[in-house]
Structure formats: C-alpha cells, structure tokens
Structure 1
Amino acid sequence: MSPFKDLKLALEVLNQEGTYSEGDTVIGTLSFSLKSDTKVKSISVKAKGDANVHWTEGIGEDEETYSAHERYFKIKEYLVAKSPGGTVLPQGAHNINFTLKIPQGEMPSSFKGENGKIVYMVEAKISRSWRWPSSVTTEIKFVSKSFPSIHQAMHPLTGSVDKELGTFSKGQLQMTASVNRGVCFPGETLSAYARICNSSSKNVKPKFSLHRKIVYRVKKHTKTSDKVIFKMVGDPITPRSEVTVPCAVKIPVDAVYTLHNCQIISVEYYLKVYLDVSFAFDPEVVFPLLVVPSNLVHAQLNEEVGHI
C-alpha cells in the first residue's frame, strides 16, 4: 500500500481560457501527505506532447492495422534528485513547486478524434526502491500560435458558377456566392449569400453546408472523415427568376481549430454553396475556412481598424 496520500498536481492558470502555447511556462505544485518518514529514490515531473493515430481496415485474414506516432517535446525536472542512498521525506504534508517551460517551435493544438488524438500532459512520479512508482498526471489544453494566412483570410470570399442544363430541361443557371470572411472562431456566425439567376425551365433549391474534414495519415495510407456540421436549405427558386438568398452560417461552439501543422492528422473546414437540381450535377461554389481562437480574430480586426 502506497504511503503517499492525496497525491495531486495543481497548475496555475495563465489565461481566461486555461490554455497553454509554445514558449509558455507551466507553473505547478505537487502535493501529498505521508503518515510516516519515507525514503524515495527520486521525485520528478515532466511535460510532453504527442500525436497518435490508429485504425483498422478489412476483416479476418485481410485485416490491416495502421498506426503512427509523433512526439513534439518532452521536458523533465527532478524535484528530489537521485542520490545513492535515497532521500528520506518526513511525515506530514508536502507541497513542492515546479516550473516547466514549453519549447518554442510550431506545434499543433490539442485534438481528440475517432481515429487519433494530440495530447499534452504533465506527469509527476515518485520512485522508491523495490516498489512500484506512485504517479499522477493532468492533461493541459494546448493551443497553437501558428495558423496560416489569417490576414489574407480576413477579407470576403466570392465565387461564381454557370451551368447549362440539357436532356431533361433547358436553360442556364448562374450563381454568385460570397461569405464575409474566410476566418472565424467557434461560436461565431458568418454572413453568406447566393445570388441565383434561374434562366432554366426547372425549380432549383439553394443550399449552404459547412463541412469539417479530418484526415488521418500513416505513410501513404489515409482515413478521412467529412462531416456536415451546419446546413441551411432555401426556398425553391422558380424558372425565369432572379433571387438573392442570405444565410447566417453558425460555427459550432465546440468546433475544433483548423489543424494544419501535424504530419499525421489534419482538420480543415469548407463552406459549400450549391443549387440542388434534380437529374443533373449540382453547380457549387466552395470556400475554404479557417477556424482559429477568438483572440486571433479579434486582434486582426483591431489591427485593421487601427490602420483605417
């Protein structure tokens, strides 16, 4: 039975979101109590970041398993250093403070998905001779400072498509679509619209769908999940008419951030604006979107206002 009671790790909160990023210092306390004097070999604390993917395909003899791992950093400090004869800790309560500095460098944000995860954690371990070590871990929420092309994505995105109908109907469809920004944050609402000129003989229905695409990679093998996380269907547009359809695109509050700087997991978002045409290929316009922390969007907006 372990003599270490109430073994806990407590970390100081650096910001309102409780997140950590590259270059931050993790400040914490390891606490425990001892009913009697106890000899230890060492007490250490470490922080590390790892990405893992895993999935299987096929069944029986044809089953294949794919897995991959990436390590971003591992740092370790001794709170009680190793010594030849060990160190005796006195009976009573113990609170040991520590600091661990996360390295600089581009690292991906925390992520958990069906076939992979990116996890950052702090672990403390108490080692004794001829005994199993006592340990405690706590996970930290890591948010990368590296997101691509936020400045360029702050501007409106516009695209157009034309389609000539034939076989089952005649005429032409024209659509111009736009979204107010190519970058957003979880919980935000973007403004989009589609201007449709229906010069055909058919009813068409405008649709807006927000997709989250996750790709897991193991060498040349990939496993992809493409999920619609928001959808809006407009009213049918009658033949020989021109209509502008607005759409408030709601980004889910729990949307994970765009993930572009991990070799084995990526997360992308795109908004698809299209016309549902029966018995024909749907004309569509697709906009890539970046989902990033709200403070990055607000900082960029403030910077642009300051330049006006």
Structure 2
Amino acid sequence: MGKLKVFEVVFNDEDPLYRAGDLVSGHVRLLLSEPKDAVRGICIKFKGYSKTYWKEKETSGVDESERTRSVTYLSKEFYFHEQLIILGKDETATDGNAAKIVLHAGEHLFPFSFRIPIKPLPHPFEGFYGQVRYKVTAKIDRPAKSHYKTQTLFCIIGAGIDLNTKPDSQIPSIGEDEKSVCCMCCVTGPIKVSAQTNKSGYVPGEFIWVSGVIQNQSSREVIDVTAKLVQTVICVARREVSGRPHTRSQVRVISKVKCEGCDEYSKVSFSRKPLLIPSCPPSGLIACGLIDIQYHVKFDADIGRTPLDTYIYLPITIGTVPRSSSNAVWSPRNGEVITQQPSATARQLQLVARYESSCEGPQSIPNKYGYTFGKLMFAPKYPMYNFSLPDPDNEPPCTCRPDQILFNL
C-alpha cells in the first residue's frame, strides 16, 4: 500500500447508532510512512439511500432471429446526500495551487460533523435484491493520479411500528388446511390441520406462541409439523433505470420450531410452542419506497410417503414498540437490567430497547473503490427486547371442540 498505511473513518460514538436529527461526528485518520505530495484535498460524503438491483434475461424474435440479452433493473431513493471538504479543495477547483498540499509522514486526524435530516428514515437493511444503507465515504483527491477512497456504514433508528396504536395486533391469526391422499388408487379420509398464533403483532425478542390440531383420517402418518417464521422481501426496480417497474422477492426462514405429528387414523394437538422472533427489521420497512417486508408463520405438516404436505400461512406484524402490557424484562442501551415492569409510555419503551445486529449476521459490502483497507463487513441493528419465557406448565392448554378444526387459546 506504499506510503499510505491507514486510511479510515472513525466515529466519536463507540456504537454508531443514530436517529433523525442527531449529530454524527468523528474524524478521518491517515497514517503515512513517508510524505505524500500533490494532494488537492480531502472530502467526505454522507449518504442515506435505498437501492434495488438485479438482471433478467429477455428473449426477442423467433427462430433464427431469436436473441437473448441481459436487462438491468435498477432504482435508487436518496434520503440525504451531503459533501464536506475537510482539507484543501474539491475536484472542481481551478486554482493552479490547489494540488500543492503536502502531507507529512505520521498520523493525521481530520474532524468532521454532520447533522442527519429530521425526516422519516427507514431502518438499514441488507437483502439480495435491495439494500438500505447509511454510509460515510472519504476521498483523498490527487489530480492526474488515482484517488484514494475508503468507506464505512452506520445504523439509523428508523421509522417503526408502535403496537400500542394497533389494537388488531392482539387478535390471534388463525388458519386451516385439508388434504386428501390416495393409497393404492383408493382415496382415504382427509388430513385436517388447523393452527393459530396467540396474537398477530409482535416485536423482536418476543415469542410467538403457536398451537394446532391434527385430525388424521387417512392411512398415512403425519411425521411432524414445523412452524416457521418467514420473511418475504419485495423489491421494486425499473427496467433500464427509467422503464416499467418490476418486482423481485426474496423469501427466507428466520426462525422455526418442530411440533408433534400423529399416526394414521388418530388425532393430536400441540399447545403454545414458543417460536422466538430474532433481531429483524419491522414489517413494511416504513419510509422506504423501494422495499417492502412482510412476515408470516408457515405451518408445514409433513405427510409420510407422499410429497403432498399441508400448508397454513398466518400473517403477522413485527413492530418496534411493544404493547405496554407485554410481559417483558426491559434492558436499556447501556446494558443495565431493569427487573421490574415500568409504567411507561410507548416513547419510553422505545428508549429502553437494546439494539442487536441482524439475525443474518454481518454481510460483505461490495467495494467499488480500488483502495479500501480490509474487507468491509456490516450488520444492521434493530430494536430488541428481553421477554421472559413463561413456564408452559402454568399456561392454559389449547382447547378444541371435536366437531371443529378451529380452537381458542
């Protein structure tokens, strides 16, 4: 790396986690083994944006004139974009002496500060077809030579969902499915599966209590039922940047739990199985016009000796502020544990949430610059709560009527 040994952006805050209106401050640090001349200036850019991108194959013509080409789908949405000159001048300078700056050997620190706009901002997000990123990029501008660039990302506490404002979040999500299977060309009785969650609105750190009933009137065994928390990310981008919009979806399971199955011609129920919600972005990804995030609990009943399984999809909402009556053990950002349930407003509850890295873990951020020290890895952070896990022996059992599939907790 020659004379330049270190080139990095350092935040003053140990945990670079900010809200709209906060002041972001820090410094750009350079370490030179020898003097570096012909520097025009050093600038730093602050960007908040979302981007969706993918390629698709398109075929046109027929027979011998048929052609296939790759088509780009791309859209961007900016939330802020500001540049600050911290040394010298920028590349638009026409002064002949603008490139006369000499940086001596040793360490150089250039402070900066930037005020995040007061406006609704989405949470950061890293997906396969789309991302929301908040980035600081520093550049050493050298006329007629390759520029040096480095970048780092930070987290924004974005617009969220307060479940105290959504009374429907307390209503259970309920569904059922029925499947008839054949055995040696003879149709046996159906397999009926019903399932439900204890409510439909949650926050990360909370448990989804899932229950269900299987009525197996067939000669096939139901091996087990898997309850999965599924995240669906829907990205919108335009063909060749300005053409017609198109969507791509990414589906991933972020949590799951196994439930009991049953033998042929039998019945079984499972009650209040805990499905933990890990650190993840809220439903909708509010304030982002290019990416939508949806959640549902999928029940998959594995029927033996056939690929014809039964499926139930129960939509849920993942918010950022829990209902004030939730059974939670709150932890503020400094790590101090509060053992008693506070009497607090929704705003106070939001302040005591801790922020944890996404359950997906650190993601590799592509480096479009030719000069960055080390591989850039980043994991978005989301509000997370500590919820005590109740003793299932003290919980009310699932009840159901023999003549019905649906049941109540």
TM-score above 0.5? yes
Calculate the TM-score normalised by the size of structure 1.
0.76
> Do the aligned residues in 2 keep the contact of 1:161 with 1:176 (CA within 8 Å)?
yes
Shift of the 67–234 alpha-carbon distance from structure 1 to 2, 3 Å rule, reads same
> Do the aligned residues in 1 keep the contact of 2:163 with 2:319 (CA within 8 Å)?
no
C-alpha deviation, 1:10, in angstroms: 1.1
For 1:201, the aligned partner's letter is Q
Task: Give the whole-Å Cα distance in 2 for the aligned partners of 1:41 and 1:67.
Answer: 34
| Residue of structure 1 in register with 2:277 after alignment | 251
After superposition, the C-alpha distances for 1:159-213 in whole angstroms (9 at most, x for unaligned) are 344667879455895746223562221xx35141324374x73476644221111
Task: Give the whole-Å Cα distance in 2 for the aligned partners of 1:76 and 1:154.
Answer: 44
| Residue of structure 1 in register with 2:207 after alignment | 190
| Residue of structure 2 in register with 1:94 after alignment | 108
Candidates 89, 111, 114, aligned match of 2:128: 114
| Residue of structure 1 in register with 2:254 after alignment | 229
C-alpha deviation, 1:47, in angstroms: 0.8
C-alpha deviation, 1:125, in angstroms: 2.0
Percent identity of the aligned residues?
18
Shift of the 45–65 alpha-carbon distance from structure 1 to 2, 3 Å rule, reads closer
C-alpha deviation, 1:272, in angstroms: 2.8
Which runs of 5 or more residues in structure 2 are unaligned?
60-66, 182-186, 239-244, 331-340, 346-409
Aligned length: 298
| Residue of structure 2 in register with 1:62 after alignment | 68
RMSD value, Cα: 3.9
| Residue of structure 2 in register with 1:147 after alignment | 160
Task: Give the whole-Å Cα distance in 1 for the aligned partners of 2:14 and 2:31.
Answer: 27
C-alpha deviation, 1:248, in angstroms: 1.3
Task: Give the whole-Å Cα distance in 2 for the aligned partners of 1:299 and 1:133.
Answer: 53
The reply to whether residue 306 of structure 1 matches residue 365 of structure 2 is no
Task: Give the whole-Å Cα distance in 2 for the aligned partners of 1:95 and 1:13.
Answer: 16
| Residue of structure 1 in register with 2:348 after alignment | none
Candidates 276, 284, 293, aligned match of 1:267: 293
Task: Give the whole-Å Cα distance in 1 for the aligned partners of 2:262 and 2:53.
Answer: 46
Calculate the TM-score normalised by the size of structure 2.
0.60
For 2:76, the aligned partner's letter is H
Which runs of 5 or more residues in structure 1 are unaligned?
none
SS at match of 2:54: strand
> Do the aligned residues in 2 keep the contact of 1:154 with 1:183 (CA within 8 Å)?
no
After superposition, the C-alpha distances for 1:55-111 in whole angstroms (9 at most, x for unaligned) are 222377334332222222111222124373336456343212111112122222222
| Residue of structure 2 in register with 1:201 after alignment | 217
> Do the aligned residues in 2 keep the contact of 1:106 with 1:146 (CA within 8 Å)?
yes
